[in-house]
Amino acid sequence: MGLFSERRWRFISFNTENFFVYLDEPPAKDPRLMSEVEWSRLSRSTLENKSLSKILDIARAIEDLDPDVMMLSEVGGRESLANFSRYFLKDKYVPHLIEGNSDRGIDLGFLVRRSLPLKYDLISHKNRKLDFLYPHEKLSKETGYTHLRSGRVTSHRFSRDVLELRCYAGSEEIPRGDTDVPEFILMQVHLKSQLDKDRIDPGGRDRRKAELEMLVRIYSEVKAEFPSTPVFISGDFNGVVYGSNEDPEFEAVRATDLKCCLALAGIPQDERFTWMYLNNRRPGMYRQIDFILMPEALAPRIDKNETWVYRFRDEFGLNRIIPRNQNEKRLLPSDHYPVVLTLKKQDSDGA
């Protein structure tokens, strides 16, 4: 058995919502002891830092969960991850991030426990063409009318990325060999949002479907290359992959061996929501749009008592209320709740 089988693992997938932690220079004192005004003065970036109170809330959540690996969305670059680990998590985690295609500067990234005996390959798929055009672009191509800046109508790419972390047993100081096989592989995604500011794709569904289908193609390629390696796909899918009222654009992934870890753990449907649409004039909508998808064959290893959707706590360790309106939602450190997956050691009989 390898490292992945021999130890307990905890993964969390978390959209941290505009997680910018920029510092123009090393702070003169511990940022955790600063006021919001002092914190705001540490960066002159045009992208505003996340409020100190929300960063502290997220740090408390991570200390509470003590994960091995965090798969993160909406991160403000590697600098933000490094600063967060150094100043708020006692530098216990190593950042892994490649800038993606987001026009808002919100990237995908990983924080991995520094003490783990692992070495890594980080692979971006941001330049993969989706073989997707909007209907008006197809018409332009068919008629020879080129209106895009490039003068060509080709194909769109991921709106953010698929960021792949291949984890190998060993030390980063020892180069891996060409024949080494990853212990496990994590793919972090943040699919096209439901915003449609150009009014060409209602709910972003067609673009999201194209991104999802390319994601499944990448997954199939990786599985063909490493058939014995567990592959997980996590992140913000911006729609319901599994559960009640499943969205049709995710059919391709539902045809694979990947299942929602919360469903495999037997978590009740009404406890799985990770995001809320709240309107002060009508009842809110609570949906699971953040997932950790895992091979169904690993289901016996799930610790069902330690796999759930984490609810944020305050500085006294008490659960914060589930928001009922937008004002209450703004008080949370993120507009998404983290998904937590805990895997037990593999039994000697393979279960």
Pairing label, strands 339-343, 308-309 = antiparallel
In a domain, 259, yes or no: yes
Q: Please return the burial class of 83, using the count of CB atoms within 10 Å of its CB with bins 0-12, 13-18 and 19+.
A: buried
In a domain, 263, yes or no: yes
Q: Which domain holds residue 120?
A: 3-343
CA distance 88 to 333: 15
pLDDT tens digits for range 79-94 = 999 999 999 999 999 9
CB 102 within 8 A of CB 159: yes
In a domain, 351, yes or no: no
In a domain, 94, yes or no: yes
Given pLDDT bands bounded at 50, 70 and 90, which one contains residue 26? Answer: very high
In a domain, 350, yes or no: no
pLDDT tens digits for range 276-292 = 988 776 677 899 999 99
In a domain, 132, yes or no: yes
Chain-centroid distance, C-alpha 85:
17
Q: Count of domains in the chain?
A: 1
Identify the CATH number of the domain in which residue 263 sits.
3.60.10.10
In a 3-state reduction of DSSP, which class is residue 135? helix
Phi-psi region of 54 (alpha: psi -120 to 50; beta: other; left: phi over 0): alpha
E strands in 159-266: 162-169, 184-190, 231-236, 258-260
pLDDT tens digits for range 226-274 = 999 999 999 999 999 999 899 999 999 999 999 999 999 999 999 999 9
Burial per residue of 208-219, b for 16 or more beta-carbon CB atoms within 10 angstroms, e otherwise = bbbbbbbbbebb
In a domain, 348, yes or no: no
Q: What are phi and psi of 307, to 5 degrees?
A: -125, 120
In a domain, 349, yes or no: no
What dihedral angle (degrees, nearest 10) is formed by the CA atoms of 200, 204, 205, 207?
80
Given pLDDT bands bounded at 50, 70 and 90, which one contains residue 131? Answer: confident
